[in-house]
Amino acid sequence: METTNVKAYGAESATTPLKQLTIARREVLPTDVEIDILFCGVCHSDLHTAKNDWGFTQYNAVPGHEIVGRVTSVGSQVTKFKVGDLAAVGCLVDSCRTCASCKDELEQYCLTGFTGTYGGADKHLGGHTFGGYSEKIVVTEHFVLKVPENLDPAAVAPLLCAGITTWSPLKHWNVGPGSKVGVVGLGGLGHMAIKLAKGLGAEVTLFSRTPGKTDDAKALGADNVVISTDEAQMKAVSGYFDVIIDTVPYVHDVNPYVATLAISGTVVLVGYLGPLDPMLQTVPMIMGRKSVAASLIGGIAETQQMLDFCGEHNIVSEIEVINMQDINEAYERMLKSDVRYRFVIDMASLKA
């Protein structure tokens, strides 16, 4: 298959900084859309991948799954997009499209395994897929999203992962007017969870370790802020929440959040991948029919619904625009929870 070389930024190993690389993009197939990438958000998953935190990174790794750009070419069978359209790509670029999950528009739970935007098995070129820290991407039309015209395209980029990852559980657990929602951690996912839960009409409380984020949380729409390290503040919200979206990226004690659930409430883990330590205590769960659940991004149709909702409600991410060359410093700041609240790479800096 014919390919084009494009500039990208990626990691050659877990211990070396990201640097400029060259990667191949496939020729545009009949069902493909080629996108000139304008902006790419920086997700904590990018950092986990670059550093091999999850143990399955394949190098060279080119992260980036919050992609917004301009369509530069479409295949002969493409119907949804034309050259010049603004388009977006999130965490998925392919799936089997035939299994029960895919038929149910839950491509993220494809029973044969979805193709991740980066680090997935590339069905066309072999090897693994490369993400949005690059000049261009070629994606099959089904996995390309339409971007509402009224929103700032740079601030839309984080909706493609941080947005949908928090939207999907909010919708699945029926959050709406009257719901009491807790959000743990005010980073990329957390700030979108606050905005989207508020947009859905819920009352929202942020749990944070960082007292300095209180004013920001309220400006983002949070009704209350609980400092999670303060026992008295935690006790004050005991038995209160219907749904808690926990975005913390590293191992932490989930039991204190279970204590803040109302009867039949659910803590949804979306951040940390791995065994819980300390372990979950089942007694408080049994005594209150409480659940600890988890959730992965969202399907393509659901992602489009979220984008359209954001267009209608003028919801975007709070961003700090960076150059591609600043990515290693951005990762350092992300490790210190010093992101307000999503870095977005201006991809013109890579093309210059």
Q: Which is nearer to ligand NAP, 138 or 344 (CB)?
A: 344
Binding mask 9-48 for ligand NAP (x = CB under 6 A): ----------------------------------xxx--x
Peptide bond into 9 cis (omega under 30): no
Interaxial angle between packed helices 162-172 and 300-313, expressed in degrees from 0 to 180 and rounded to the nearest 10:
100
Assign residue 118 a region: left if phi > 0, alpha if psi is -120 to 50, beta otherwise? beta
Q: Shortest Cβ distance from residue 162 to Zn ion (Å)?
A: 7
Q: Shortest Cβ distance from residue 339 to ligand NAP (Å)?
A: 5
Binding mask 176-195 for ligand NAP (x = CB under 6 A): ---------xxxxxx-----
Q: Which is nearer to Zn ion, 234 or 322 (CB)?
A: 322
- Kindly indicate which of the ranges 67-75, 119-127, 143-151, 159-167 contains the residues binding ligand NAP, using the contact rule CB under 6 A: 159-167
Give the residue from 316, 12, 21, 343 showing the smallest Cα distance to 153: 316
Q: Which is nearer to ligand NAP, 28 or 292 (CB)?
A: 292
CB 61 within 8 A of CB 120: no
Assign residue 291 a region: left if phi > 0, alpha if psi is -120 to 50, beta otherwise? beta
Strand bridging mode 92-94 / 115-116: antiparallel
Q: Which is nearer to Zn ion, 74 or 161 (CB)?
A: 161
The alpha carbon dihedral of 49, 66, 118, 267 has a sign of positive
Q: Shortest Cβ distance from residue 236 to ligand NAP (Å)?
A: 18
Question: Rounded to whole angstroms, how far apart are CA atoms 266 and 245?
Answer: 9
Q: Which is nearer to ligand NAP, 36 or 326 (CB)?
A: 326
Q: Beta-carbon neighbour count of residue 108 at 10 Å?
A: 24
- Which amino acid does the sequence have at 108? Q
Q: Which is nearer to ligand NAP, 291 or 337 (CB)?
A: 337
Give the residue from 146, 20, 24 showing the smallest Cα distance to 85: 146
Number of residues that bind ligand NAP (CB under 6 A): 30
Q: Which is nearer to ligand NAP, 130 or 167 (CB)?
A: 167
Residue whose C-beta lies closest to ligand NAP: 187
- Kindly indicate which of the ranges 25-33, 39-47, 75-83, 222-230 contains the residues binding Zn ion, using the contact rule CB under 5 A: 39-47
Q: Shortest Cβ distance from residue 223 to Zn ion (Å)?
A: 26
DSSP state of 45: H
Binding mask 152-181 for Zn ion (x = CB under 5 A): ---------x--------------------
Q: Shortest Cβ distance from residue 299 to ligand NAP (Å)?
A: 12
Q: Which is nearer to ligand NAP, 44 or 136 (CB)?
A: 44
Q: Does residue number 57 form part of the binding site for ligand NAP (CB under 6 A)?
A: no
What's the CA angle centered on 76, arms 74 and 78, to 5 degrees?
60
Question: Rounded to whole angstroms, how far apart are CA atoms 74 and 80?
Answer: 10
Q: Which is nearer to ligand NAP, 25 or 252 (CB)?
A: 252
Structure tokens at 10: 């990626």
Question: Rounded to whole angstroms, how far apart are CA atoms 266 and 277?
Answer: 19
Collapsed DSSP state (helix, strand, coil) of residue 326 = helix
Binding mask 322-341 for ligand NAP (x = CB under 6 A): ------------x--x-x--
Backbone angles phi, psi at 222, to 5 degrees: -65, 140
Number of residues that bind Zn ion (CB under 5 A): 3
Residue 289: is it exposed, middle or buried by C-beta count within 10 angstroms (0-12/13-18/19+)? Answer: exposed
Tell me which of 8, 33, 43, 267 binds Zn ion, using CB under 5 A.
43
Positions touching ligand NAP (CB under 6 A) are: 43-45, 48, 161-162, 165, 185-190, 208-210, 213, 247-250, 252, 270-271, 295-297, 334, 337, 339
Positions touching Zn ion (CB under 5 A) are: 43, 45, 161
